[in-house]
Amino acid sequence: MLNIGFDAKRYFLNRTGLGNYSRDLVRMLSSYYPDNNYFLYTPKTSKFLTNVPANVKTVLPSTAIDRLVPNLWRSKRINKDLINNQVSIFHGLSGEIPQGLPKSKIKSLVTVHDLIFLRYPELYKPIDRFIYYKKTKYAVNNADCIIAISQQTKKDIIHFFQIPEDKIQVIYQGCHPAFKKEYTASQKAAVKSKFNLPDRFLLNVGTIEERKNALQIVKAIKDIDIPLIIVGRETAYAEKIKGFLEQSQMKNRVYFLSSVNMEELAIIYSLATLFIYPSKFEGFGIPIIEALFSGVPVITSNSGVFPEAGGPGSLYVNPEDTDDISNAINKVLHDEALRKEMIAKGKDFVEKFTDKVIAKDLMDCYLKLF
């Protein structure tokens, strides 16, 4: 039996991205390996998250100074709580670990999701880049093991931090169980009605920011008679897309959705004709996995991590080439046999991202520390 602690700030406070990764990982481990003790260390909990597994304990700062300065608690003072809970392994789920773990005789792992702040520094504020770099550098140099969520991220860790290859293990992400369920016709009809979805549509999911490259999809469908649904949090980049839609008289062709819960999102995927994700760069690309589990054919970018996530059944395009994207969309829309083949191959490929496989990989990684 192991006592395993997690940096759970994002488990409780991030609704997407790092939060989903943290919640899925803890859910999988506590389900497949229930005999261990699991501890979530967080400066505070959240109202939106109430379903923490029964065999997982939440630990909050216990002293006035730790509650007053939670960042100090997470980076240094947390060690006393780890010792009190007899934690033998601490897993930093988002690129950072506290200082002093070796002195406390606690083994440590850190998950590194991506190094986009180093690859595309212009997308980040200087202060944010400095903080991310400092935390990541300490973590990868001091953790006993590094988990990269893709081969692409592993290559980046080696390149930017000169970390030995054998210290890094690739363990893929999964996705929420909602995307692995079958939904009834009435459930689908309810979601279709609620969001006023068309009968056929292209789908893109993710924060609406420049790196995700949704404007290229809009340009690619200018002469294709199918609407596009974009689901995600809007940034200033969304206004750039809306400006293009206004200028090109395409306002009634593209719809933006937000405040969609996980089950509704899963049903939207299942209703989509095609999922398209021409992102410029990702650490992994969870929406691709969500689409494959949902039985939707995928078009995504032809470089970086995307072939790793999309597998042999997806179509790959140059994300900067509008004609390439447009041709791929037309190809799938007008070839039903190809579409069915892409769905079948996607279903087979995505089995490597099931909960059982990922949970075993994680536990094997933990046990190798001793």
Domain edges within the chain = 3-174+354-367, 177-352
Name the H helices within 99-150.
Answer: 116-119, 126-142
Is 215 a residue whose pLDDT tops 80?
A: yes
* Architecture of the 3-174+354-367 domain: 3-Layer(aba) Sandwich (3.40)
State the pLDDT at residue 47: 81
Number of helices and strands in the chain (H, E)? 17, 13
State the pLDDT at residue 17: 84
CA distance readout (Å), 9 to 82, 195, 248, 336, 358: 15, 32, 43, 45, 22
Contact 44, 70 (CB under 8 A): yes
Confidence of residue 179 (pLDDT cuts 50, 70, 90): very high
- 329 Cβ contact partners less than 8 Å away, ≥ 6 residues apart: 202, 220, 221, 224, 226, 274, 276, 299
List % helix, strand, coil for the chain (3-state, nearest 5): 50, 15, 35
- The mean per-residue pLDDT over the stretch 338-364 comes to 95
CA distance readout (Å), 57 to 10, 36, 40, 75: 16, 11, 6, 20
Give the largest CA-CA distance in the chain.
64
Residue from 149, 141, 137 nearest 113 by CA: 149
Confidence of residue 51 (pLDDT cuts 50, 70, 90): confident
CA atoms 83, 84, 86, 92: torsion sign: negative
Please determine, looking at this structure, whether the domain spanning 177-352 carries the CATH number 3.90.1170.50.
no
pLDDT digits (tens, 9 = 90+) for 233-262: 999 999 999 999 999 989 889 999 988 999
3-174+354-367 and 177-352: identical CATH topology: yes
Q: Are strands 56-59 and 37-41 parallel, antiparallel or unpaired?
A: parallel
Q: Which amino acid is it at 17?
A: G
Only one residue has tokens 């890094």, namely 168
State the pLDDT at residue 48: 79
Is 79 a residue whose pLDDT tops 90?
A: yes
State the pLDDT at residue 84: 95
